[in-house]
Amino acid sequence: MKRILIFSLAYTPYVGGAEIAIKETTTRLGFAEYRGEYLFDMITLRFDRNLPKVERIGNVTIHRIGFIEDSPRISDRSLPFYLKVAKVLFPVTSFFKALSLHYHHPYDMIWALMANQAGFGALLFKLTHPRIPYLLELQDGNSLEQIKLRQPVVRFLWPLYIRVYTKADAIKAISIFIERLAREIGYHGRIEVIPNGVDVLKFSALIPENRLLELKARYGKRIGDIFLFTASRLVLSRGVEDVIRALKHLPLEVKFLIAGEGDDREKLEQIAKETGVESRVIFAAHVSHDDLPAFLKISDIFVRPSIIEGMGSAFIEAFAAGIPVVATPVGGIPDFLFDPEKNPDKGPTGVFCNPRDPESVARAVKRYLDDPALVAMVVKNAKVLVEEKYDWNTITRDMHENIFNPLLK
C-alpha cells in the first residue's frame, strides 16, 4: 500500500472545486478496482474549534492544525487576524507536522494542493526528503502578475516561490491555460492536464417533483418565468454583478437566482437596487453541493461571466444537469465550452459572452431564448462531452494511470 501525504490550506467543511476534486478522487482510489493501493493523510488548517484535530473522511485521514475560534467566517477579507496568522505560518507548521507523521509512518509521495502556503510546506518537505516524489496540483486561474498583486509577500519570496514549481516531480494542471502558466514560470518537467470532474449520475438524476415544486414556490418561480442561475462565491471577480446589470436588457420574466455567500453580497444587493432590478434578483445564500442538482433543475440557463477561472467545475455540473450555459472565454473554460459562432468545427456546448459586458451577457441569454433548437443541441452535446471526459471515474482512472503509477513505480 502506498502512503501519500496531502498539503492543503483548507478542506471539508470548507469546500470549493479543488477540495471536492480531492475528496472525489481519493475516495475512488480506495475502491476495490485499485486493490486498496492508496492510503491518504492530509495536513490542513483547523480554523474552527468545533472540528476534530484528527478525522477520517472517505479515504483520507485529516490532521488539522493552527489557531482556532468558535464558528469563524472563512473568507480572505473577514478571517480573524490570528487565523490569518495561521495561514501565514502554515508552510512551517505543516512541515513540522509532516515530519512527525513521516517519522511514525513513512510516506511514499507528497501532494500539494496549489502553489500557495500548502505548496511552500510541501517544498520544505521535499528539500529535506529529496527522494520522495512531490506532486503539485494547480487549480488557480490567476496569472503570475495577479498572484503578485494578491499576495505581495510573494514578490519578496519569488525565488523560493518558483521552486514550489520547479522542485515538483510532476504537475497536475486542471486546464491547458494553467499548464501554460506553469511553463511561463519556468517549469520544464512533466505536466498532466487532468480536469476536475462531476458526479454525472448525481447531477443528471431525476429530482422528485415535490422537491422541485417546493423550491419553485420558495423562490417565487411562476409559470412563464425564466430563471438564470449561478453558484458562486459572492465576490466581484465572478462577474455576478454583470448578470445583475444584464437583467435590464432582458424581458421582465427573466430572473436571476444566486446560490452562494461572500464578502461582496451587500455590494451586489446595492447594484441590483441601483439598476432597478432588485425584485428580479434572488439571493439563495449558501447551498450545499448535494442540493445543487435540484437548483439546476428548476433553472433554465446557467450564467457565470467569470473574470478569472482556472477551469470552473460549476459549468460541467450544469452540463450534467442538462441546462445550457453562458460563460466567458477566459482561463480553462474554452477547454470544454464551444460556441457555434466561435467554434464552428466543433459541436456546440454553450454560448460565450464578453467579460465585464452586461449587454453581451444579455445577448447571449437572448440567443437561447430565441432559439430552442440551439438549446437542444447545446444540452445534448454538453451531456455527451461530460459523460465521456468529465465523469469522476474517468478522472480517477487518469490520476491512477498518468500521475500515481509513474511517480510511485
**Tens digit of pLDDT for each residue in 27-62?**
999 886 777 789 999 999 999 999 999 999 989 999
Q: What is the pLDDT of residue 227?
A: 98
Nearest to 132 by CA among 96, 161, 99: 99
Residues 124 and 267 both lie in one domain: no
Look up residue 198 and give its DSSP letter.
B
**Angle at CA of residue 206, ends 205 and 208, nearest 5°:** 135
Q: What is the pLDDT of residue 70?
A: 86
Give the pairing type, strands 254-259 and 281-283: parallel
Residues 286 and 367 both lie in one domain: yes
Backbone phi, psi, residue 229, to 5°: -140, 145
Q: Which residues pair with 47 in a beta bridge?
A: 68
Residues 190 and 304 both lie in one domain: no
Which segments in the chain show pLDDT lower than 70? 32, 75-77, 146, 148-155
Look up residue 403 and give its DSSP letter.
I
User: Which range marks the domain in which residue 14 is found?
Assistant: 2-197+391-408
Residues 98 and 240 both lie in one domain: no
Nearest to 316 by CA among 397, 394, 245: 394
Q: What is the pLDDT of residue 148?
A: 63
Count of the separate structural domains present in the chain: 2
Look up residue 335 and give its DSSP letter.
G
State the CATH number of the domain containing residue 218.
Answer: 3.40.50.2000
Residues 362 and 306 both lie in one domain: yes
Backbone CA torsion sign across 358, 359, 365, 369: positive
d(C-alpha 218, C-alpha 231), whole Å: 17
SS (H, E, C) 239-268: CHHHHHHHHHHCCCCEEEEEECCCCCHHHH
DSSP track, 71-102: S---STTTS-HHHHHHHHHHHHHHHHHHHHHH
d(C-alpha 288, C-alpha 33), whole Å: 30
d(C-alpha 328, C-alpha 369), whole Å: 18
Residues 83 and 210 both lie in one domain: no
Q: What is the pLDDT of residue 293?
A: 97
User: Which residue type occupies 209?
Assistant: E
Contact 189, 164 (CB under 8 A): no
Contact 8, 40 (CB under 8 A): no
Residues 150 and 298 both lie in one domain: no
Task: Assign 3-state DSSP to the chain and report helix, strand, coil percentages, each to 5.
Answer: 45, 20, 35
- In sequence order, the 6+-apart residues with CB closer than 8 A to the CB of 115 are 136, 138, 140, 161, 164, 165
Residues 366 and 219 both lie in one domain: yes
Residues 353 and 230 both lie in one domain: yes
Residues 42 and 174 both lie in one domain: yes
Nearest to 292 by CA among 20, 29, 41: 20
Contact 18, 25 (CB under 8 A): no
Q: In 3-state terms, what secondary structure has residue 23? A: helix
Residues 382 and 401 both lie in one domain: no
Residues 372 and 403 both lie in one domain: no
